Structure 1
Amino acid sequence: MRKLVVAAFVSLDGVMQAPGGPDEDTSGGFRYGGWTVPLSDDATNQAIADMFATPFELLLGRRTYDIFASYWPKVKDNYIADLFNKVPKHVATHRPDSLKWKGSVALSGDVVAAVRTLKQQDGDALLTQGSAHLVRQLLAAGLVDELRLQTFPVLLGPGKRLFDDKASASSFKVTSSVTSPGGVLLAHYVRSGEVQTGAFD
C-alpha cells in the first residue's frame, strides 16, 4: 500500500490558488497570481528538492494538469522538469483522450474510488501538486496520509482553498518544521489517527 502526500503552497488564510505566476489561474477573478515568488528563497527551494528526492507519481486535477502539461514538457535541463516529464501522472478528468503529456493516465469513474484503488497497490507515493478541488475531495474521504505545506505570511482573501468544512476529522503529527528567512513555515505533517478531545479542569 502506498502513501498519498498532499504538497501545497498556502497563505495564512488557506488560499492555494496560483502561487507561481500572474496568469497561472485567474478563475474567479483571482488577482494575486505569483504570491509566493517574493518570499521564495534557498530554504523554500530546498524543501521542494527534499520532497522530490523520494520516489513519487503525480496525482493531479485537470486544471493543474493542463497548466503543467503546457509548461514542463518544454523546459530543458531542469531537475523538476526532468522528474515531472518522467514520472507517471494520474489525472482526474472527464476527457481522457485529451491527455497528451507522456505518462499521463486518466482516473476512470469515481475519482475517490480510483484513488483509493491506487493507494492499495504497490508503488511509489502519490504526490499532489496544486489541484485544489481534487485535494479537498481526498481530504473529505480521509485518504491523505501526509501534508507537506509551505505556509506564506500573506492574507489573500477570496481564492481556492486547501481546506473546507468537508475535510474528514483526523490528527496529524508534525515531523519537521522550519521557518525560512522570509518567514515561510515549512512543515511536514503525518497522519496519526483520530482526533482526541478533552477538557481543562
Structure 2
Amino acid sequence: MRKIVSQLFISLDGVVEDPHIWHFPYFDDEMGVAVDAVIGRADTLLLGRRTYDSFAGAWPEREAAGGEDAPFAKVIGDARKIVVSRRPLTFTWRNSEQHQGDLLDAVRALKNEPDGSRIAISGSVSLVRQLLAAGLLDELNLLVHPIAVRKGMRLFDEAETPTPLKLLSSATFATGVLDLVYAPAGEAGEGGYEEAKAHLPHSDR
C-alpha cells in the first residue's frame, strides 16, 4: 500500500496561511533537504486547487529559466499531479489531472495502487484536514518556524473531538525551525492530575 505524507510550513502559533510572507528567512540548506525528502522524492503529488495554482504559476517558469532551482522544478514537473477541486479545471502544466468521483474513495484507490512509491501533499490545508479525519494520512510533517504570525488560518480548526498524534521523529535546524514528523495515534490517552502527580519531581528539602 502506498503511503501518503503531508508537509506544511507552520508558525509557532499554528498558522499555515500564506507562508511565502513569513517563512523564506528560515529557508536554508537543512530545510531544502527536508523538502526534497518529502516532495522531491514523491512520484505523485496530491494538491488542493489553490496550492496547485500557486505551483503552476511559478515552477514551470523556473524550470524554463534554468536557474539554480530548475532541477527541483523539473522534479515536480515530472511528477504526477492530482488536483482536488469541485469545479472543472484546464491544465497547462504537464502531468496534471483532476481527481474524479468521491475524494476519499479516490484517495483509497491511490493508496491501493500496486506501486509502492510515496504520495506527497504540499500545503493544501483543507485536503490535509479531510484525510486526517478519515484516517488516510500516514504522516504529517510540520516544519515549525520560530515566529508567531498572529493572524491567518491555522492547521487545526475548532471541533468537538481532539486529533491525537504520535511523534515519529524530530530535528532542530540551525535557524530554529523544528522538523517534526507525526503519525495518527488512534484514540486519545486518558488520565488526570491523580495519574500525573506521580511524575512530579520529588525533593527531600
Give the TM-score category using the shorter length.
Answer: 0.7 to 0.9
- 2:40 touches 2:72 (CA, 8 Å); kept in 1? no
Secondary structure at 1:98 match in 2 = coil
- Could you tell which deviates more after superposition, 159-168 or 75-84? 159-168
1:150 to 143, 146, 165: 143
- 2:146 touches 2:176 (CA, 8 Å); kept in 1? yes
- The verdict on how the C-alpha distance between 1:116 and 1:165 changes in structure 2, with shifts beyond 3 A counting, is farther
1:17-69 deviations in Å (ceiling 9; x for gaps): 1212xxxxxxxxxxxx2x01112222222212232453331010001111111
Aligned counterparts, 1:105-124, within 5 A: 105-123=97-115, 124=117
- 1:153 touches 1:183 (CA, 8 Å); kept in 2? yes
1:66 to 50, 53, 69: 53
- Other-structure match for 2:83: 91
1:60-87 deviations in Å (ceiling 9; x for gaps): 0001111111111111242320111001
| TM-score, scaled to structure 1 | 0.82
Equivalent pairs counted in the alignment come to 188
Q: Does 1:14 align with 2:6?
A: no
- 1:140 touches 1:166 (CA, 8 Å); kept in 2? no
Secondary structure at 2:35 match in 1 = helix
Please give the root-mean-square deviation of Cα atoms over the aligned residues, in Å.
2.2
1:164 to 146, 157, 168: 157
- Other-structure match for 1:48: 35
Identity score, percent: 40
Unaligned runs of at least 5 residues, structure 1: 21-32
Unaligned runs of at least 5 residues, structure 2: 199-205
- 1:139 touches 1:167 (CA, 8 Å); kept in 2? no
Q: CA deviation at 1:198?
A: 3.1
Secondary structure at 1:79 match in 2 = helix
Q: CA deviation at 1:168?
A: 7.2
- Larger radius of gyration between Structure 1 and Structure 2: 2
- The verdict on how the C-alpha distance between 1:137 and 1:164 changes in structure 2, with shifts beyond 3 A counting, is same
Partner Cα separation in structure 1 for residue 78 and residue 160 of structure 2: 32
Q: CA deviation at 1:9?
A: 0.4
Partner Cα separation in structure 1 for residue 158 and residue 136 of structure 2: 16
Partner Cα separation in structure 2 for residue 94 and residue 86 of structure 1: 25
Secondary structure at 2:126 match in 1 = helix
Question: In the alignment, residue 174 of structure 1 is paired with which amino acid?
Answer: L
- 2:42 touches 2:120 (CA, 8 Å); kept in 1? no
Q: CA deviation at 1:193?
A: 3.7
